[in-house]
Amino acid sequence: MKFDPNCKYDQEHEWVRVEGDEALVGITDYAQDQLSDVVYVELPEVGDTFDRGDVFAVVESVKTASDVYMPVTGDILEINEALEDSPELVNEDPYGQAWFVRVAMADPSELDELMDVDEYKEYVEGLD
């Protein structure tokens, strides 16, 4: 299982990588592994606003459909359009090419409520 030490994680298996006042958001390697082969990703519109914990995307796999939750409050600045044509990127590169959205964070202090990589590893190990 892969983890990115530059990310913060939530219990719903989303990751956040901070870049200044913005953040990239995606789902973790653990999440994509549980979903199996991803066949479709539904993303929000640029300009949409989400509170922390809101559903902002849906991932469909050969096994199931799963909601994706916003780990930080903010406005969508950019969506990863590559996922529309290549949803399998979520399985291949969850922390790289398969980021879901770029967000302008409304309250960067919310990051303090997320797990660092070591806490997330421990959390995932406790699920098995």
Give pLDDT, residue 125. 95
CB of 98 within 8 A of CB of 80? yes
Query: pLDDT per residue over 102-112, tens digit each?
Result: 999 999 999 99
Site of tokens 């070591």: 118
What is the phi/psi pair of residue 15, to 5°? -120, 155
Over residues 69-93, the pLDDT tens digits come to: 999 999 999 999 999 999 999 999 9
Domain range annotation of the chain: 8-108
Which CATH fold topology does 8-108 show? OB fold (Dihydrolipoamide Acetyltransferase, E2P) (2.40.50)
